[in-house]
Structure 1
Amino acid sequence: MSTTTKTSWLNSYSTTLGNDEVFNPNNEVKGYWKKLFSGFDKLGENGLSGRQKDIDWLLLENGVTYNVYNDPQGMHRPWNLNVVPLIMHQNEWQNVEAGLKQRAELLNLVLKDVYSERRLIKDGIIPHEVIYGHRGFLRQCSGIEYTTEKLLSIYAADLARGTDGRLWVVNDRTEAPSGMGYALENRSTTSRTLPEMYSKMNVSRLSVFFRDFHQMLIDSSPIKRDNPNIVILTPGSHNETYFEHAFMASFLGYPLVQGNDLVVRDGFLWMKSLQGLKRIDVVLRRVDDAFSDPLELREDSHLGVAGLLDVVRRKNVSVINPVGSGVIENPGLIPFMPAIARYFLNEELILPQIASWWCGQEKEKNYVLNNLSNLVIKRIDRTNRESIYFGKFLSLAELDSLKEKIKERPYRFVAQEQINFSTAPNLLGSTLTPRNVVTRAFSIASGNHYSVMPGGLVRVAPDSKTVRVSNQRGGTSKDFWVVENQPVKEDKNRNWEQKSSIAISGLDDLPSLTAENLFWAGRYVGRTLVNARFIRTVMRQLAMAQNMDTKPDSVKLQVLLKAVTHLTGTYPGFSEKAKEGKPAMENPYEEMLSVIRDKDRVGSLAHTIGMFSNSYYSIRNLWSSDMWRVFENIQKLWQNFQDEENPSILKILKVLNQLITRLIAFMGLIEESIMVQQGLLLYFIGLQLEQSMLAITKCRSLLAVKYDTQVEYDLLEYLLTSHESLNIYRYSYRSHIQLEHVLDLVILDVEYARSLTFMIKRLQKDIARLPHSRKDQQLTNYQKYVFSAFSKLRLSESSKLCLTKTKNDVVREDLDTLLEELSDLLYKTSQSLTGTYFNHTDRQTQMFTQSFPI
């Protein structure tokens, strides 16, 4: 295919497939593509490649990811967006939009009928096996009446341009359609990267669609009020589209919850928060149907809410989309859609469909069996994602095996024509190359009709030979521009109108799992920082011993190494209880390397960083962009360090310095991202608690035993150094380092922010702001423990803590006893807080077992 245009990018772009988005049926370049390529010509090769690099950088900086299961690159794969958008003119899109509205309405009527009168089956429009043989049909949902005007609130269709030049419907998505958030992120990134072309091309804006989406959720509330309580239910941070769940929660301002955050009481759905139970009106569901209610559906599910369906029956909550909607995500319905359109609407389908044959009919089954090598075979449900067979790629033995499966249960299979969908230009390096594209378009209920996103999520095949276009299989994405003839007006006010004022969210809007993750986020970041600083101090001493070519057998170094084991909990480590094999003390570098880099060793720095990463990723909807950037820098730094073989001590020290600096920056940004009463309070409590407990362990390891004067002096200096308190000690006391002064500064000082007394005082103040702390005049157990710890510190005197019982004793018993008691009190505080606010053990089970095949 060629063209006479003078546009240089077009001169270098060609396709032999005969069906490309750039060209019309006469092999002429469409006008709006000429306009885009003209803009690319102004950028030049380096300019366009530079814009692609800008996109890659923005997505990485914003932490846009797609979770790919068992991916060797790691689970959180960066989202790939190509700089070249897919373009369609408004004149063509209007017909597509009308077809999507019609199809959404049809599937809405099918869904209503399937779970109520079932007229389609009674009147012979569709065979009963298409519905009852589909694993998505849930008899528990039969007869449920809903409060929303449209039962199907969100509908997505996968579209591709067929050989006739029209867009065809390839798949329907109704259960919990994903991609809306990615489409919005694609638009945000592309419009920032190609601002001049975005404005000149008159691209339709997405803001009206998302305003309608927001209003749809509000209107879905069973109790009609301006500001219902809405949550987004996610399976968790390991779900493939978790980024989108977090992104939409942040974009819409709704709590992101998991199943354990919600509970059914007295026929209503409630969210567990620190303040107590808060009634929920609307659930935007991203959990699969069968996993939504372990009481009535899959008992082994930990993702849903026990009793959810009963609350829906009582019309006390709206679930979007309703549980059971996966049954119409059914390619077995495609052959019957023309008849369904005539039956319900007396209309013909506006959008053509891919030719399909349901094998439950004898004639169609025989056709499929006789033409298997030319067809694509699917199950009528998507429960097993790998059960898609491309006949032309199967061996004779595989074809025979598939024939037997179809003959055994023909109603479970549907065959579709295998065709080459259209291609579109994709920038690869400095070359525009055609790649197959599939577009996911979105419709939402808006009153008594449907509203369609002007655009959608475009997925691109990773190479020219790939038949299936899928993100799980390495595909990339594009922004989808629906262009108009007239300039598009910018939204002057992007804020959605509210009919009444909204109170600032607080602890009662904080889901319990989010609160727990914030608490542990504080603990893990505190643990990572304290351990990294102390390990850095120890590694410096090992480096000095290595430089002096001496054995690390000095008393002070042995004390430091044992302190590493106590601080990290990596027993037996350097402790005296190590008996099997060579004691770690004989090869301290090897043991320290394990303590630093072994991610499978509980307590190691690598393991702690992994826990830190998991806790923060689980609450990423609360983050600012700057937080994510620093977080990603920490991940890259540590991953590069883990990949390095046999790092030197100097290399380790360099990495620890960079890690500590980035952790401090990250901690500073946390306080800018979340308000105290929106969850930052939990982070502060976790941080102060962890740092206090580690400070106790460190002081007890280094100070409880009396050593020779020089050794003790060095240990005091190491303590101050690892505590980042050496300079302030010198400024405050202007003398040689003395134990009494160190105890005053590090343990007993009421004003010094790093002292144990100050941190426990801060902890005492923060936990007093928790809901249960304010209910009555009596102290909670956790308040009592912290109050007791603070009192013990205030009653202590450094001069007495320095002493031993007799001159011959080596243990400072008063100091050791105080630190032991403080450690026990803080441990009890942690247990009490967890039991009071983070207890998720309440679980309801079925009286009998039901089978839900995977």
Structure 2
Amino acid sequence: MPLTTTNWINTYHTQHKNDELFTAQQQIKPYWNQLLKEFEKFGPEGLMARQKDIDWLLGENGVTYNVYNDPKGMHRPWNLNVFPFLVQEQEWKKVEAGIMQRSRLLDLVLKDVYGERKLIKEGIIPSEVIYGHRGFLRQCDGITYPNHKFLSIYAADLARGSDGRLWVVNDRTEAPSGMGYALENRSTVSRILPEIYSQMNVKRLSGFFFELHQMLMEASPVKKENPYIVILTPGSHNETYFEHAYLSSFLGYPLVQGNDLVVRDGFLWMKSLQGLKRVDVVWRRVDDAFADPLELREDSHLGVAGLLDVVRRQNVAIVNPVGSAVMENPGLIPFMPSISKYFLNEDLMLPQIASWWCGQEKEMNYVLENLSQLVIKRIDRTNRESIHFAEFLSAVELEKLKLEIRRTPYRYVAQEKINFSTAPNLSGNTVEPRHLVSRSFCIASKDAYHVMPGGLVRVAPSSETIRVSNQRGGTSKDFWVIQEKASVEEAKHWQTRSSIAISGLNDLPSLTAENLFWAGRYVGRTLVNARFLRMVFRQMALLQNNDEKPKTEKLEVLFRAVTNLTGTYPGFVGEKGKEPKAMEHPMQEMLSVLLDRNRPGSLAHTLGMFSNSYYSIRNLWSTDMWRVFENIQNIWKTFEKSEDRSINRILKVLNQLITRLIAFMGLIEESILVQQGLLLYFIGLQLEQSILTITKCRSLLTIAYDEQVEYELLEYLLTSHESLNIYRYSYRSYIKLEHVLDLVILDLEYPRSLTFMLNRIQKDIVRLPHSRQDNNLANYQKYILEAFSKLRLASSLELIKTKSNKDVVRKDLDALFDELSTLLYQTSQSLTSTYFNHTDKQNQLVVQSFPF
């Protein structure tokens, strides 16, 4: 039906009678009408401009959703539509009451399943529904918790049925995701549509996050003013990692991985730089079976060995409890009315999809007879492909499915196919109906549950698609609960802050510290290598314009230096005693060193490692840093896709890359305090630049060439080191080797010199916790002090000498570089073993099988 309240939206027609925009009489709902009138003021172009603003803002803020094996890349940009999803407060109060009822009910079921199991004993639910579900963990049987409620966070997936009511589609109890995305959606839309957001009296989210903070505080088994709370993430490759980092930053809780935590003496500890810090509460984003490799999946690297033992001792609180995935069980849905009567003596407030568990003969027969009209699911969601829309299956596929159901009927549930509601969605320059599902969140308190006034709305990727999935390219909407009047109390700005923030190095998780250290190293490596490659490509452009064997000695030296600096052996160095094949086609090898992301040491590979280290600690970085980082990624991706591999194009890209990297490095110092981890970044950066400076100088300076070649190599070194102008200003003379060594290696005042960088490392590592424990030097201090002392005792005039006129090797200089390389390697190894040791492995006593 065409809309008449606006002129520009006349193209919106719905093939579904059940659309959010309309009443049962196909009249536009009043609160939607108010929104459309406001949108009418924008006009089509204005509305599309605001959609572009939303896309831009999400990109600027780095909001992503990881999709495994996505051809578009791992970190897919988050999509948010300018049309919000609207629900009136009067209707929402009924939904809210239904969600709270369902939360209480599932909490009681969770306690019963791992406790007395009255539901099974009294025949309310069949035992196979629980024991046949992979989420039921026998290791969690009998575990009790000090808190009154076991289920601390619950999420319900809701969709509007044909009767006009919101129905429960799925229960999410294991580690419900989406809160952070809902918060980011609200932050974005309220900035792009501030007037409409204010005029329509949208119910705010701040109170919910205050309750979330309070719930986590109260979950501590030891009642104290400042319990230590951490968020346990599987890592940066998890599909919702952005949310983990976002909530860590927003709430102020440390973001940790399994290797950051360890069990000692019946307690859970976080490994910090100084030592162990006791953890009171873990907000878990790791799936149940991966939480404890000692008792559950032994191949898990995501959890903490011995965690369940600490939980049994009631020395740590896990939100939600390990084993709660058994509640995400569509096999329970047919029995929920009986369960509600049994525990609460109440009818279910929220309707749910008509479901038939196939473990009962009558129900199985009904399902098999009506299979083509139903949706078939495995009760334990082993993977996303286990949902079968039978109407789309061929006759052969239907027979195969029937055979599977007959073989293990208790594993299957059939559900009625319902065409859930659609809602307006701006797609390009048109507005079209899209199916949607909303996820609403509920958190426990001492005596009640609190529901987020809104939630995360997910939208189907096209108007023809029924299935709603972010993994399949769906978008999202902001969820507005419309009040009649604005609440003065809720309108006050409030921002949650943990009572314990990461206040210093002593509170820094060891894995975060290690990622900061390697972020510094990879940024330094990327910059130094990019500058050197740029210099070499410039010489290739001047001296050789085709892929032929170099005809000049200096170019051969530069090519060998490329291999030494990047570590892409055999490359231009070749195997011992053999002529390097790469010299026959240098351009081909240089392109490989530049672009082969599967080749360790290449610039593309180093950029990838730099990106990984950044994503791992993105909760620490500023928005400006993200923008520069995204710009770096876009420059490189554009270059990789381009077919232009000319030297001029390469030089242009390297110039852009180097400029952005310098900007990125400058912004790092504005993001976090030195005592919050920036110190580790600085140490990594200076260490990497020192190692590469030694490698570069060793490749170019330790062999004595004829005067002209040596002069040009010195000039190349200064150019790649960004020191040519400084040299000319300082010495105002012909470039001499001893002066280059004085400037690049021995100058204590020049920030790019090796001596200056080692001195900086000395000063920084003194501030590390173990450096200040007593009067004895730590091993890493000894190594860096020895390296610094060797430089301070060195003389450039002595270093440049050869043993005789016939000798072409400056052996003293080469020996010094060799000693320095060894000492810096030992420094790195000592720092790693002291602060970043995650190698302890604990094995299960009994091997168990957990299906994927």
Q: Which category describes the TM-score, using the shorter chain as reference length? A: over 0.9
Letter in 1 for 2:106: L
Instruction: Flag the 1:313–1:647 CA change in 2: closer, same or farther, 3 A.
Output: same
Letter in 2 for 1:463: S
After TM superposition, the structure 1 = structure 2 runs for residues 80-119 of structure 1, keeping only pairs within 5 Å, are: 80-119=79-118
Letter in 1 for 2:818: E
Shift of 1:693: 0.4
Give the secondary-structure state (helix, strand or coil) at the position aligned to 1:83: coil
Q: Is the 8 A contact 1:545 1:551 kept in 2?
A: no
Give the secondary-structure state (helix, strand or coil) at the position aligned to 2:384: coil
Give the secondary-structure state (helix, strand or coil) at the position aligned to 2:321: coil
Q: 2: distance between equivalents of 1:582 and 1:136?
A: 57
Is 1:457 aligned to 2:460, yes or no?
Answer: no
Shift of 1:536: 0.6
Superimposed CA distance per residue, residues 781-803 of structure 1 (whole angstroms, 9 cap, x where no aligned partner): 11111000000000011111121
Q: 2: distance between equivalents of 1:59 and 1:467?
A: 26
Q: Is the 8 A contact 2:85 2:479 kept in 1?
A: yes
Shift of 1:101: 0.4
Which position in structure 2 is the counterpart of 1:672? 670
Give the secondary-structure state (helix, strand or coil) at the position aligned to 1:444: strand
Give the secondary-structure state (helix, strand or coil) at the position aligned to 1:156: strand
Q: Is the 8 A contact 1:202 1:483 kept in 2?
A: yes
Q: 2: distance between equivalents of 1:771 and 1:487?
A: 51
Which position in structure 1 is the counterpart of 2:753? 755
Letter in 2 for 1:151: F
Superimposed CA distance per residue, residues 159-179 of structure 1 (whole angstroms, 9 cap, x where no aligned partner): 000010100000000000011
Shift of 1:552: 2.9
Question: Percent identity among equivalent residues?
Answer: 73
Q: Is the 8 A contact 2:274 2:505 kept in 1?
A: yes
Shift of 1:149: 2.2
Which position in structure 1 is the counterpart of 2:269? 270
Q: Is the 8 A contact 1:2 1:27 kept in 2?
A: no
Instruction: Flag the 1:208–1:799 CA change in 2: closer, same or farther, 3 A.
Output: same
Q: 2: distance between equivalents of 1:542 and 1:832?
A: 40
Which position in structure 2 is the counterpart of 1:658? 656
Is 1:592 aligned to 2:590, yes or no?
Answer: yes
Which position in structure 2 is the counterpart of 1:248? 247
Give the secondary-structure state (helix, strand or coil) at the position aligned to 2:12: coil
Q: Is the 8 A contact 2:251 2:496 kept in 1?
A: no
Q: 2: distance between equivalents of 1:440 and 1:580?
A: 64
Gapped regions of structure 1 (runs ≥ 5): none
Which position in structure 1 is the counterpart of 2:33? 34
Which position in structure 2 is the counterpart of 1:409? 408
Which position in structure 1 is the counterpart of 2:782? 784
Q: Is the 8 A contact 2:134 2:380 kept in 1?
A: yes
Which position in structure 2 is the counterpart of 1:620? 618
Give the secondary-structure state (helix, strand or coil) at the position aligned to 2:842: coil
Is 1:191 aligned to 2:190, yes or no?
Answer: yes
Shift of 1:492: 3.4
Which position in structure 1 is the counterpart of 2:212? 213
Letter in 2 for 1:522: G
Superimposed CA distance per residue, residues 468-490 of structure 1 (whole angstroms, 9 cap, x where no aligned partner): 10101111100010011112436
Letter in 2 for 1:714: E
Is 1:61 aligned to 2:60, yes or no?
Answer: yes
Q: Is the 8 A contact 1:439 1:458 kept in 2?
A: yes
Q: 2: distance between equivalents of 1:47 and 1:126?
A: 55
Is 1:353 aligned to 2:365, yes or no?
Answer: no
After TM superposition, the structure 1 = structure 2 runs for residues 155-170 of structure 1, keeping only pairs within 5 Å, are: 155-170=154-169
Shift of 1:201: 0.8
Which position in structure 2 is the counterpart of 1:773? 771
Q: Is the 8 A contact 2:98 2:348 kept in 1?
A: yes
Superimposed CA distance per residue, residues 690-748 of structure 1 (whole angstroms, 9 cap, x where no aligned partner): 00000001111111111111111111111111101111111111112111111111000
Q: Is the 8 A contact 1:522 1:684 kept in 2?
A: yes
Shift of 1:568: 0.5
Q: Is the 8 A contact 2:574 2:580 kept in 1?
A: no
Which position in structure 2 is the counterpart of 1:494? 494
Q: 1: distance between equivalents of 2:564 and 2:731?
A: 30
Give the secondary-structure state (helix, strand or coil) at the position aligned to 2:208: helix
Give the secondary-structure state (helix, strand or coil) at the position aligned to 2:159: strand
Q: 2: distance between equivalents of 1:374 and 1:364?
A: 14
Instruction: Flag the 1:821–1:425 CA change in 2: closer, same or farther, 3 A.
Output: same
Give the secondary-structure state (helix, strand or coil) at the position aligned to 1:377: strand
Superimposed CA distance per residue, residues 762-793 of structure 1 (whole angstroms, 9 cap, x where no aligned partner): 01111111111111111111111100000000
Superimposed CA distance per residue, residues 232-257 of structure 1 (whole angstroms, 9 cap, x where no aligned partner): 11111111111111111111111111
Q: Please point out which of 728, 743, 746 is paired with 1:745.
A: 743
Kindly tell me the number of residue pairs found equivalent between the two proteins: 851
Runs of 4+ residues over 4 Å off in structure 1: 501-504, 547-551, 578-582
Q: Please point out which of 827, 832, 851 is paired with 2:849.
A: 851
Which position in structure 1 is the counterpart of 2:517? 519
Shift of 1:547: 5.7
Which position in structure 1 is the counterpart of 2:719? 721
What is the TM-score when the length of structure 1 is the normalising length?
A: 0.98
Give the secondary-structure state (helix, strand or coil) at the position aligned to 1:66: strand
Instruction: Flag the 1:722–1:445 CA change in 2: closer, same or farther, 3 A.
Output: same
Superimposed CA distance per residue, residues 535-556 of structure 1 (whole angstroms, 9 cap, x where no aligned partner): 1111000000136999632111
Structural RMSD (CA): 1.5
Which position in structure 2 is the counterpart of 1:300? 299
Which position in structure 1 is the counterpart of 2:834? 836
Superimposed CA distance per residue, residues 302-321 of structure 1 (whole angstroms, 9 cap, x where no aligned partner): 11101100100100000000
Q: Please point out which of 815, 818, 821 is paired with 2:819.
A: 821
Q: 1: distance between equivalents of 2:188 and 2:401?
A: 44
Shift of 1:7: 1.9
Q: 2: distance between equivalents of 1:684 and 1:614?
A: 18
Shift of 1:10: 4.6
Q: Is the 8 A contact 2:341 2:347 kept in 1?
A: yes
Q: Is the 8 A contact 1:160 1:437 kept in 2?
A: yes
Letter in 1 for 2:384: R
Shift of 1:464: 2.1
Q: Is the 8 A contact 2:135 2:288 kept in 1?
A: yes
Superimposed CA distance per residue, residues 817-837 of structure 1 (whole angstroms, 9 cap, x where no aligned partner): 111110111011111111111
Q: Is the 8 A contact 2:5 2:37 kept in 1?
A: no
Which position in structure 2 is the counterpart of 1:258? 257
Give the secondary-structure state (helix, strand or coil) at the position aligned to 1:553: coil
Q: Is the 8 A contact 1:578 1:584 kept in 2?
A: no
Q: 2: distance between equivalents of 1:6 and 1:116?
A: 58
Letter in 2 for 1:492: K
Give the secondary-structure state (helix, strand or coil) at the position aligned to 2:283: strand
After TM superposition, the structure 1 = structure 2 runs for residues 526-675 of structure 1, keeping only pairs within 5 Å, are: 526-546=524-544, 552-577=550-575, 583-675=581-673
Which position in structure 2 is the counterpart of 1:177? 176
Which position in structure 2 is the counterpart of 1:443? 442
Q: 2: distance between equivalents of 1:437 and 1:579?
A: 67
Q: Is the 8 A contact 2:547 2:586 kept in 1?
A: no
Give the secondary-structure state (helix, strand or coil) at the position aligned to 2:259: helix
Moved more, 615-624 or 797-806: 797-806
Letter in 1 for 2:292: D
Q: Is the 8 A contact 2:270 2:276 kept in 1?
A: yes
Give the secondary-structure state (helix, strand or coil) at the position aligned to 1:169: strand
Shift of 1:385: 2.4
Superimposed CA distance per residue, residues 509-554 of structure 1 (whole angstroms, 9 cap, x where no aligned partner): 2111111111111111100000000111110000001369996321
After TM superposition, the structure 1 = structure 2 runs for residues 121-136 of structure 1, keeping only pairs within 5 Å, are: 121-136=120-135
Give the secondary-structure state (helix, strand or coil) at the position aligned to 1:8: coil
Q: 1: distance between equivalents of 2:260 and 2:547?
A: 57
Q: 1: distance between equivalents of 2:771 and 2:67?
A: 43
Q: Is the 8 A contact 2:548 2:585 kept in 1?
A: no
Shift of 1:811: 1.2
Is 1:400 aligned to 2:384, yes or no?
Answer: no
Shift of 1:581: 9.0
